[in-house]
Amino acid sequence: MVNVLAPGTTGRARAPETAGRRAADARGRARRRQAVVAYLFLAPALLFFAVFLVLPLGFALLLSMSRWAGFDLGGIDPVGLDNFARLFADGSTFLAPVLTNTLLFALGTVALALAGSLLVATCIDKLRFQGLWRTLYFLPIVTTVVAVGNVWKYMYEPGGLVNGVLNAAGLGSVAFLQDPDTALPAVVVVQAWASVGSAVLILTAGLKSVPGSYYEAAALDGAGPLTVFVRITLPLLRPSLLFVCITQFLTGLQSFALIVVMTKGGPGDATDVAALEMYRQAFSYGDWGTASAAAFVLFVVVLAVTLVQLWIFRRKGEDA
Amino acid sequence: MRRRRFPWVSYLVVVAGAVLTVVPFLDMVMTSFKGPGEAGRLPYRFLPEAFGLANYRAAIGQLNLPVLFRNSLVATALITGSVLLTSSLAGYALAKLRFRGRDFVFRLVLSTMMFPPFLFFVPHFLILVHWPLAGGNDLFGRGGAGLTVSIVALTMPFLVSGFGIFLMRQFVVAIPDEVLEAARIDGAGEFTVWWRIVVPQTKPVLVTLGLLTFVDAWNEYIWALLVSTADPDVMTLPVGIQLLQDYVDPARTMPVVMAGLVLSILPVLVLFLLLQKHYVRGVMLSGLK
């Protein structure tokens, strides 16, 4: 390695301003070298973002306004906003049922996961061995969607566990995934089941930050458990609840792997959601233009929800 | 203070929830032991008639499990190694090195987290298919299958993580400047500073990031499915097992599928149980999964 300080030692005998300039030069060189090193360290990431973020976004935007058979890059045929227009045209299935399914899927997941995790989190807070419970509730999160989807698909079968329980209770069997009316709720239950664990984690952390003195004061005033929950726990937990709500909603809008595994969008298009529709347009029908247009429509929805989230939390930050 | 009563209701709720969470896993394990014709038979029975290992043998044979395991492991290891390396290097540069454009690059990294993954399935696939001078392609990406016919294709869209860089930067910032400056005065170059000081100091968060990345990569399904349709040789565990489920008579193969699933989720479950504190911290840091 070159010792940048070496010339400075000989310069000590010379006029002070020369030495000062040399020191400044050395500092400048060190700074320039730091910049070179910094960009060297950042190079893999920047290169990656150029090829796998900027380029694909531009490419997808181009495709969303083109018709293309997918072979020769020269054969991309620009068609303006035709792909978007066709998505929203009369008789298109994109608005209904695909987008409505997407919203129902996301909302249903949020509602179920929130109710379940709120109940569990407030109860866990009073127990010992919280680590053990958390471990159990976390199991679905570290399990691949293929395992989760297949186990539940099997449990929903006529000879599976869910119908076994129904039959044992004297009820008739339900063809959960084959009936268009029950397929979407059945998938929602699985998605909620798989996401309760992380929601419990966030809410438990939120509960820990509620001062114990609030509960003691409420107990002195003779408040019952329900009053304490509604008047103290819920309001103080609001930031955590809001966070779980929005992030879960965003995940719900985008996820389709579970549906690919369990129903492939069927029966009919009862469980077809936007991201799955995009996937099928592209990889089943080779309609890259429509697929890209659908992706951007969903992206706009996701972006809008994200901006609402940022806005809410920024406002919260100013209040505090 | 008054002695608190034993929280019966809370126990009831938490135990009921835990049972609901665990029962599907138990059902998977029980089904994996059931004999031919036993799974799906009415009335439903939770326990198998006998605990035989026939389904596990069948899973290993029919599913080509050793190859699937190898592919999953290679892809996961490549992704995890790359994410750790690039996040740590970039995080250090953004936290502690002074250079023009630092704020811009940091903002760029933050903005990458805004784009949802579904936006990229189509363009990523097309970019890999038309990768110039690979897999029989010419300079303009025509003629062949591009990079899709290699195990690298499984990993490429996941090699760098905006969240990973952000996370590492937040933790490297906390290292005192004096420590780094002292090393530099001792003649250490930036690479040495990074390797000798930054990496050891950020070991816990590296474990967290590595674990999160490992679990995600091991469980990834949609992208692996796309790449595997182009080249069955690079099939991963989730894709291979789902394929068996899709194409063979479900009633007969369900126990075999379950056996394959049990084997495929074991590595991640063991890793999670050993390092769960790190994993839980990771979920807290990344928000929700």
CA distance A98 to chain B (A): 16
Q: Which of residues 75-114 of A touch B (CB under 8 A)?
A: none
* pLDDT bracket for residue B219 (50, 70, 90): very high
Subunit contact A136:B21, Cβ cutoff 8 A:
yes
B52 pLDDT more than 60: yes
* pLDDT bracket for residue B114 (50, 70, 90): confident
CB B159 within 8 A of CB A89: no
Subunit contact A302:B86, Cβ cutoff 8 A:
no
Residues of B in contact with A146 (CB under 8 A): 221, 238-239, 241-242, 261, 264
Tell me what pLDDT residue A4 has: 41
Tell me what pLDDT residue B46 has: 86
Q: For A212-234, how does the pLDDT look when each residue is reduced to its tens digit (9 = 90+)?
A: 888 888 888 888 878 888 888 88
Tell me what pLDDT residue A247 has: 87
Contacts of A50 by beta carbon, 8 Å cutoff, 6+ apart: none
**Does B176 contact chain A (CB < 8 Å)?**
no
Show the tokens assigned to B84: 């750790």
CA distance B178 to chain A (A): 17
CA distance A200 to chain B (A): 10
**Does A229 contact chain B (CB < 8 Å)?**
no
CB A59 within 8 A of CB A37: no
B148 pLDDT more than 80: no
Which one of A52, A240, A313 makes the best mutation probe of the B interface by having the most chain B beta carbons within 10 Å? A52
**Strands A66-67 and A77-78, bridge-based pairing:** antiparallel
Higher pLDDT, B52 or B148: B52
Looking at residue A260, its amino acid is V
Subunit contact B40:A161, Cβ cutoff 8 A:
no
Task: Show me where the domains of chain A are located.
Answer: 6-64, 86-319
Which one of B222, B226, B246, B262 makes the best mutation probe of the A interface by having the most chain A beta carbons within 10 Å? B222
Q: For B6-25, how does the pLDDT look when each residue is reduced to its tens digit (9 = 90+)?
A: 778 888 999 999 999 999 99
Nearest to B21 among A72, A137, A142 (CB): A137
Q: Is residue B44 domain-shared with residue B94, that is, in the same domain? A: no
Report how many Cβ contacts below 8 Å link chain A to chain B: 288
Q: Could you tell me which of A150, A147, A176 has the C-alpha nearest to residue A163?
A: A176
ipTM for the complex? 0.87
Tell me what pLDDT residue A12 has: 46
pTM, two decimal places:
0.87
Residue in the structure block whose two tokens are 């969240």:
B163
Q: Could you tell me which of A315, A208, A318, A256 has the C-alpha nearest to residue B284?
A: A208
**DSSP H/E element including B132:** none
CA atoms of B280 and A117, how far apart (whole Å): 16
Tell me what pLDDT residue A317 has: 56
Matching CATH number, A86-319, of 1.20.1540.10, 1.20.120.530, 3.40.30.10, 1.10.3720.10: 1.10.3720.10
Subunit contact A37:B254, Cβ cutoff 8 A:
no
Q: For A37-84, how does the pLDDT look when each residue is reduced to its tens digit (9 = 90+)?
A: 999 999 999 999 999 999 999 999 998 998 887 666 777 888 888 889
A8 pLDDT more than 50: no
The residue of chain B with its CA nearest to that of A290 is: B122
Q: Is residue B3 domain-shared with residue B110, that is, in the same domain? A: no
CA atoms of B90 and B102, how far apart (whole Å): 11
Contacts of B279 by beta carbon, 8 Å cutoff, 6+ apart: A138, A142, B208, B211, B212, B215, B272
**Does A308 contact chain B (CB < 8 Å)?**
no
SS3 assignment, position B174: coil
Tell me what pLDDT residue B247 has: 64
Tell me what pLDDT residue B285 has: 81
**Does B120 contact chain A (CB < 8 Å)?**
yes
Subunit contact A119:B13, Cβ cutoff 8 A:
yes
Subunit contact A34:B265, Cβ cutoff 8 A:
no
Q: Is residue B205 domain-shared with residue B177, that is, in the same domain? A: yes
Average pLDDT of the segment spanning A269-277: 91
Cα end-to-end span (Å), chain A: 52
Residue-number span of the structural domain to which B33 is assigned: 1-52
Q: For B167-209, how does the pLDDT look when each residue is reduced to its tens digit (9 = 90+)?
A: 999 999 999 999 999 998 988 888 999 999 999 999 999 999 9
Residue in the structure block whose two tokens are 């972006």:
A303
* pLDDT bracket for residue B231 (50, 70, 90): confident
What's B266's domain CATH number? 1.10.3720.10
**Does A63 contact chain B (CB < 8 Å)?**
yes
Nearest to A42 among B90, B120, B130 (CB): B90
Q: Is residue B251 domain-shared with residue B114, that is, in the same domain? A: yes
Task: Output the average pLDDT for chain A.
Answer: 85
A10 pLDDT more than 60: no
C-alpha angle with apex A55: A261 to B114, nearest 5 degrees?
Answer: 60
A243 pLDDT more than 60: yes
Q: How far apart, in Å, are the Cα atoms of B122 and each of A276, A282, A292, B156, B200?
A: 12, 7, 7, 14, 39
Tell me what pLDDT residue B141 has: 65
Query: Exposure string (b/e) for A2-41, b if CB count within 10 Å is 16 or more?
Result: eeeeeeeeeeeeeeeeeeeebeeeeeeeeeeebbebbbeb
Nearest to A288 among B23, B118, B122 (CB): B122
Tell me what pLDDT residue B249 has: 63
Omega of the bond prior to A44 within 30 degrees of 0, cis? no
Q: For A115-136, how does the pLDDT look when each residue is reduced to its tens digit (9 = 90+)?
A: 999 999 988 887 888 888 888 9
Residues of A in contact with B146 (CB under 8 A): none
Tell me what pLDDT residue B131 has: 81
Tell me what pLDDT residue A2 has: 40
Subunit contact A150:B258, Cβ cutoff 8 A:
yes
Tell me what pLDDT residue B161 has: 94
The residue of chain A with its CA nearest to that of B238 is: A146
From the centroid of its chain, how far is CA A221? 42
DSSP string, A109-132: HHHHHHHHHHHHHHHHTTSS-HHH
**Does A286 contact chain B (CB < 8 Å)?**
no
Q: What is the DSSP letter of B187?
A: T
Average pLDDT of the segment spanning B94-106: 92
